[in-house]
């Protein structure tokens, strides 16, 4: 005879496997919730990122173009620096003595200034100013020998736009 099998297992203690469809449903709901949260967070942050990049775009825009007078005055400043380089070169060749006023002309400094600057207001060469400031011209004043000089260029309104050194 066979031995009696033990008492029957108590009800509810038998484990049944969790249905696969339930696992899939929980995973899908979790992914949907995470997607919704991520979309919400991005919708809150994205406008600030876009505004920030828009602001940085405006911060890097080039400045407005100069007016015609400002552009001409910039050309006068560049021209007077060319003349200054010629005066300094002349002085180096003449024992650090600066040239007399009569030599600070296109002819007098032709060996020291390769291309004499043009007066952007007249179209001719920049010339030593006679009397009040003529737009685009310059005034040269030699100080005591070896002491230096003052070179001033005039803008569109006849007022100085640069003084060197």
Q: What is the pLDDT of residues 63-75, one digit of tens each?
A: 667 678 888 888 8
pLDDT in tens, 92-115: 998 888 998 899 999 999 999 989
**CA–CA distance, 106 with 137 (Å, rounded to integer):** 12
Report the candidate in 94, 95, 40 with the shortest Cα–Cα distance to residue 103.
94
* Cα-based torsion angle of the residue sequence 159, 160, 161, 164 in order, rounded to the nearest 10 degrees: 180
pLDDT in tens, 123-159: 889 988 877 778 889 999 888 867 789 998 988 888 8
Strand order in the sheet with 160-164: 138-142, 149-154, 160-164
Query: What is the rounded average pLDDT of the residues 28-48?
Result: 86
- The ranges assigned to domains in the chain are 19-60, 68-164
CA distances from 81 to 41, 98, 142 (A): 59, 16, 16
């Amino acid at each position: 005879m066979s031995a009696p099998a033990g008492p029957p297992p108590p009800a509810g203690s038998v484990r049944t496997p969790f249905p696969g469809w339930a696992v899939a449903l929980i995973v899908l709901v979790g992914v949907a919730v995470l997607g919704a949260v991520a979309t919400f967070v991005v919708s809150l942050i994205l406008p600030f990122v876009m505004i920030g990049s828009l602001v940085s775009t405006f911060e890097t825009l080039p400045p407005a173009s100069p007016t015609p007078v400002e552009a001409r005055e910039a050309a006068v400043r560049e021209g007077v620096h060319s003349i200054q380089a010629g005066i300094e070169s002349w002085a180096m060749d003449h024992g650090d003595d600066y040239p007399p006023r009569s030599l600070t002309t296109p002819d007098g400094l032709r060996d020291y200034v390769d291309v004499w600057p043009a007066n952007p207001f007249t179209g001719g060469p920049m010339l030593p100013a006679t009397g009040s400031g003529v737009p685009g011209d310059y005034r040269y004043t030699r100080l005591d020998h070896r002491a230096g000089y003052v070179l001033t260029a005039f803008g569109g309104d006849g007022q100085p736009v640069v003084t060197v050194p």
